[in-house]
């Protein structure tokens, strides 16, 4: 049973879509706020996102852009009241996989969801991304999720992106400047403790003893290194 995330702030539309998709056998989770929707979508465990373009706090276009920039390939079906060609093109360029203009027939919504899920299954079979493992941790880029002893960890989008970048660059000392550039897309020279704070949060979730980290190790005066052979320090 596919698990769908519906990010829609209009209560009537939300309830109608939820009821129809559940009647079709889908598991449906709903969020009404843009930023909350992005956080949930980044947390993994979602097979497809039905995303409204106009949302409180963060619009659908920006949500799409941030998901794709984070390497999250979950299929996105965007809903909008705007039907102009330029609006559809902007949605697709932002990373949406399909576009449906309100008002729409529920039969078409269901058919488009089925097509996107079918396409995603075929793509996943042909191009399954590698998983990463260290200790009791398993990272699944396909699900954009991190597991510890089989239990999904609740990581923020940036925590997940940081961890993924670290494990994709093992045994290499990564400066704070590089991490700010590659994970946060900061281009200018800035002074911030953002990297240190996020590393601290990440250690609380993946290290057995955060005060004596085994995997994400500090290289004083330089930055951090991820080394699956580290024994602590």
pLDDT digits (tens, 9 = 90+) for 10-55: 999 999 999 999 999 999 999 999 999 999 999 888 999 999 999 9
How high is the pLDDT of residue 141?
87
| Amino acid 87: pLDDT | 75
In this prediction, residue 62 carries a pLDDT of 94
Report whether pLDDT(61) > 60. yes
- List, in order, residues 6 or more apart from 208 with CB less than 8 Å away: 135, 214
Report d(CA 114, CA 233) in Å as an integer: 50
State the pLDDT at residue 193.
87
- The model's pLDDT over 172-217, given as tens digits with 9 standing for 90+, comes to 999 999 999 899 888 666 667 899 999 999 999 999 999 999 999 9
Question: Cα-flanking dihedrals φ and ψ of residue 51, to 5°?
Answer: -125, 120
The SS3 assignment for 218 reads: strand
CA–CA dist 198, 124 (Å, integer) = 30
Res 34: pLDDT = 95
> Which structure tokens are listed for 132?
């990463």
Nearest to 129 by CA among 107, 145, 109, 106: 145
User: Is 133 strand, coil or helix?
Assistant: strand
CA atoms 84, 64, 57, 26: torsion sign? positive
Lowest mean pLDDT among 61-70, 121-130, 219-228: 121-130
**What confidence tens digit (pLDDT) does each residue in 85-140 have?**
777 788 888 999 999 998 899 999 999 999 999 988 877 666 667 899 999 999 99
User: What's the confidence (pLDDT) of residue 232?
Assistant: 46
């Amino acid at each position: 049973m596919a698990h769908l995330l519906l990010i829609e702030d209009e209560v009537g539309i939300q309830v109608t879509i939820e009821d129809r998709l559940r009647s079709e056998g889908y598991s449906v989770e709903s969020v009404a706020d843009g930023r909350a929707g992005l956080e949930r979508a980044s947390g993994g465990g979602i097979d497809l996102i039905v995303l409204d373009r106009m949302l409180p706090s963060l619009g659908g276009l920006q949500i799409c852009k941030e998901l794709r920039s984070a390497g999250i390939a979950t299929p996105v079906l965007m809903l909008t009241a705007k039907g102009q060609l330029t609006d559809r093109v902007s949605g697709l360029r932002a990373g949406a996989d399909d576009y449906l203009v309100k008002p729409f027939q529920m039969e078409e919504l269901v058919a488009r969801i089925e097509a996107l899920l079918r396409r995603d299954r075929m793509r996943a079979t042909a191009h399954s991304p590698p998983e990463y493992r260290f200790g009791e941790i398993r990272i699944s880029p396909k699900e954009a999720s991190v597991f510890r002893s089989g239990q999904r960890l609740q990581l923020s989008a940036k925590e997940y992106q940081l961890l993924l970048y670290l494990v994709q660059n093992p045994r290499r000392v990564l400066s704070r400047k590089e991490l700010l550039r590659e994970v946060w897309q900061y281009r200018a020279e800035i002074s911030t403790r953002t990297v240190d704070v996020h590393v601290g949060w990440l250690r609380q979730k993946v290290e057995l003893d955060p005060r004596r980290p085994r995997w994400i190790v500090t290289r004083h005066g330089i930055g951090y290194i991820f080394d699956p052979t580290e024994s602590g320090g």
